Chain A
Amino acid sequence: MQFKRLVKTLGTCTFLLLLFTGYHRSYTIRYLHTPTIQLPVDTTVFHIVDFGDEVSNDTLLQSLSKEGYPIRYSRAIRTGVCFDNKCRPLDVVLHWNVTGRYLGFELPKKEFLSKYDHEPFTEKEYQRLHELLTDSLSPLGGFYYNEVVPQADSTYNKVDAVSGATSANVLEYVVEGAALTTYKLWHLVYGPTQPKIQALTRQRLSPELLYLILTSSNMNDRMWALNHVQGYVASTPEMQALVLSYISSSNYSLAERAINSINQTDLQSDVLQARLMTIFLKSGHSTKKLLLLKLKEAPKLSTEVADVLRNNLQLLNGELLATTLDLFIQQGSIDLETSRAVSELLVNTNSYVSKMAFSFLEKVNSTDETIKKRLTDYRAKQAGSGVR
Chain B
Amino acid sequence: MTKMKRRSALASLGSISLGISSKGFLVKEKEVAVSDTYKIKKQTLKTDILIIGGGTAGVVAAIQAGRAGKKTILVESGSQLGGTTTTGGVAFPGIFFAWGQQVISGIGWELVQEAVAMNDDTLPNFSIPHGKNHPRHQIRLNGQLYAMLIEEKCVQAGVHIRYYESPTRITFKNNNWTVETMGKGMHTEIQCNQLIDCSGNAFATTLAGYPVLRESVTQPGSLMFQIGGYDFEQLDLNLIKQKYEEEIKKGTLDKYEFRNNVIQILKSQGDNISHVMGADSTTSESHTLANIKGRASLLNTVRFLRTLPGLEKLKIIDVQNETAVRETYRIDGHYLVTQEDYVTGKVFEDAVSYSYYPIDLHDEHGIIPRHLNEGVIPTVPLRALVPKNSRNLIVAGRCISSDRLANSALRVQASCMGMGQAAAAAAVLAHTYKTTPLEVPFQDLRNLIETHGGIVPGLT
Interface residues of A (CB under 8 A from B): 137, 139, 144-147, 150-154, 167, 219-220, 223, 250-254, 256, 284-286, 289, 317-320, 322, 349-353, 355, 386-388
> B106: CB under 8 A from chain A?
yes
Once the chains bind, are A285 and B106 in contact (CB under 8 Å)?
yes
Chain B residues with Cβ below 8 Å from A318 are: 67-68, 157, 452
Bound CA span A256–B122, Å: 10
Once the chains bind, are A153 and B158 in contact (CB under 8 Å)?
no
Chain A residues with Cβ below 8 Å from B357 are: none
Partner of A317, one of B235, B267, B451: B451
Chain A residues with Cβ below 8 Å from B158 are: 351-352, 355, 388
**Least Cβ distance of A56 to chain B in Å?**
21
Once the chains bind, are A219 and B125 in contact (CB under 8 Å)?
yes
Bound CA span A320–B158, Å: 16
Bound CA span A150–B156, Å: 55
26 A-B pairs (CB sep. < 8 Å): A137-B128, A139-B133, A144-B232, A147-B237, A151-B236, A152-B236, A152-B238, A219-B127, A252-B101, A253-B125, A256-B123, A284-B102, A285-B453, A285-B454, A286-B102, A289-B453, A317-B451, A317-B453, A318-B452, A319-B110, A319-B452, A352-B66, A352-B67, A353-B69, A355-B158, A388-B158
Bound CA span A286–B24, Å: 33
Bound CA span A355–B157, Å: 10
For the complex of A and B, the 7 pairs showing the least CB-CB separation, nearest first, are A388-B24, A285-B453, A318-B67, A350-B69, A152-B238, A150-B238, A151-B236
> B244: CB under 8 A from chain A?
no
Taken residue by residue from 50 to 74, chain B's Cβ proximity to chain A (1 for < 8 Å, 0 otherwise) reads as: 0000000000000000111101000
Once the chains bind, are A147 and B102 in contact (CB under 8 Å)?
no
Closest chain A residue, CB of each to CB of B97: A252
> B374: CB under 8 A from chain A?
no
> B18: CB under 8 A from chain A?
no
> B335: CB under 8 A from chain A?
no
Once the chains bind, are B24 and A250 in contact (CB under 8 Å)?
no
Bound CA span A133–B207, Å: 56
Bound CA span A386–B25, Å: 9
Once the chains bind, are A286 and B453 in contact (CB under 8 Å)?
yes
Chain A residues with Cβ below 8 Å from B157 are: 318, 352
Q: Taking A289-B113, A351-B158, A388-B158 as contacts, is the C-beta distance between A151 and B239 under 8 angstroms?
A: yes
Once the chains bind, are A250 and B233 in contact (CB under 8 Å)?
no
Closest chain B residue, CB of each to CB of A223: B125
The size of the chain B interface, using a CB distance under 8 A, is 46
Chain B residues with Cβ below 8 Å from A151 are: 236-239
Partner of A153, one of B160, B234, B238: B238
Closest chain B residue, CB of each to CB of A350: B69
Bound CA span A150–B263, Å: 12
Bound CA span A151–B233, Å: 11
Once the chains bind, are A349 and B67 in contact (CB under 8 Å)?
no
Chain A residues with Cβ below 8 Å from B235 are: 146
Once the chains bind, are A251 and B453 in contact (CB under 8 Å)?
no
Bound CA span A387–B25, Å: 8
Bound CA span A167–B237, Å: 10
Taken residue by residue from 100 to 123, chain B's Cβ proximity to chain A (1 for < 8 Å, 0 otherwise) reads as: 111001110110010000000001
Once the chains bind, are B233 and A144 in contact (CB under 8 Å)?
yes
Closest chain B residue, CB of each to CB of A150: B238
Chain B residues with Cβ below 8 Å from A350 are: 67-69
Q: How many contacting A-B pairs (Cβ < 8 A)?
A: 103
Bound CA span A286–B157, Å: 19
Chain B residues with Cβ below 8 Å from A147 are: 237, 263, 267
Interface residues of B (CB under 8 A from A): 21, 23-25, 66-69, 71, 97, 100-102, 105-107, 109-110, 113, 123-128, 131, 133, 136, 156-158, 160, 232-239, 263, 267, 451-454
Once the chains bind, are A351 and B69 in contact (CB under 8 Å)?
yes
**Least Cβ distance of B134 to chain A in Å?**
12
Chain A residues with Cβ below 8 Å from B21 are: 388
Bound CA span A155–B24, Å: 75
**Least Cβ distance of B175 to chain A in Å?**
22
Once the chains bind, are B237 and A146 in contact (CB under 8 Å)?
yes
**Least Cβ distance of A116 to chain B in Å?**
19
Closest chain B residue, CB of each to CB of A288: B453
Chain A residues with Cβ below 8 Å from B263 are: 147, 167
Bound CA span A250–B455, Å: 14
Bound CA span A286–B105, Å: 7
Closest chain B residue, CB of each to CB of A257: B125
Once the chains bind, are A145 and B452 in contact (CB under 8 Å)?
no
Chain A residues with Cβ below 8 Å from B233 are: 144-146
Chain B residues with Cβ below 8 Å from A285 are: 105-106, 453-454
Partner of B107, one of A145, A146, A319, A351: A319
Once the chains bind, are B123 and A317 in contact (CB under 8 Å)?
no
Once the chains bind, are A252 and B126 in contact (CB under 8 Å)?
yes
Bound CA span A34–B101, Å: 27
Q: Taking A219-B127, A253-B125, A286-B109 as contacts, is the C-beta distance between A144 and B238 under 8 angstroms?
A: no
Closest chain B residue, CB of each to CB of A320: B453
Q: Taking A144-B267, A318-B452 as contacts, is the C-beta distance between A289 and B68 under 8 angstroms?
A: no
Once the chains bind, are B236 and A137 in contact (CB under 8 Å)?
no
Q: Taking A285-B453, A388-B71 as contacts, is the C-beta distance between A150 and B105 under 8 angstroms?
A: no
Chain B residues with Cβ below 8 Å from A349 are: 69
**Least Cβ distance of A10 to chain B in Å?**
40
Bound CA span A352–B63, Å: 11
Once the chains bind, are B126 and A253 in contact (CB under 8 Å)?
yes
Chain B residues with Cβ below 8 Å from A254 are: 127
Closest chain A residue, CB of each to CB of B71: A388
Bound CA span A251–B123, Å: 13
Once the chains bind, are B238 and A319 in contact (CB under 8 Å)?
no
Closest chain B residue, CB of each to CB of A219: B127
Chain B residues with Cβ below 8 Å from A252 are: 97, 101-102, 126-127
**Least Cβ distance of A326 to chain B in Å?**
11
**Least Cβ distance of A216 to chain B in Å?**
14
**Least Cβ distance of A254 to chain B in Å?**
6
**Least Cβ distance of A260 to chain B in Å?**
10
**Least Cβ distance of A198 to chain B in Å?**
16
Bound CA span A342–B75, Å: 33
Chain A residues with Cβ below 8 Å from B66 are: 352
Chain B residues with Cβ below 8 Å from A388 are: 21, 23-25, 71, 158, 160
Closest chain B residue, CB of each to CB of A149: B237
Chain B residues with Cβ below 8 Å from A152 are: 236, 238-239
Closest chain B residue, CB of each to CB of A144: B233
Chain A residues with Cβ below 8 Å from B127 are: 219, 251-254
Once the chains bind, are A319 and B453 in contact (CB under 8 Å)?
yes
**Least Cβ distance of A291 to chain B in Å?**
13
Closest chain A residue, CB of each to CB of B234: A146
**Least Cβ distance of B106 to chain A in Å?**
7
Chain B residues with Cβ below 8 Å from A146 are: 232-237
Bound CA span A152–B309, Å: 14
Bound CA span A322–B24, Å: 22
Bound CA span A110–B236, Å: 37
Further pairs besides A144-B267, A252-B127, A351-B69: 8, Cβ < 8 Å: A139-B133, A167-B263, A252-B126, A253-B126, A317-B453, A319-B110, A352-B69, A353-B69
Bound CA span A256–B116, Å: 13
Chain A residues with Cβ below 8 Å from B101 are: 250, 252
Chain A residues with Cβ below 8 Å from B237 are: 146-147, 150-151
Chain A residues with Cβ below 8 Å from B136 are: 137
Kindly name the residue among A285, A317, A387 whose own CB sees the greatest number of chain B CB atoms within 10 A. Answer: A285
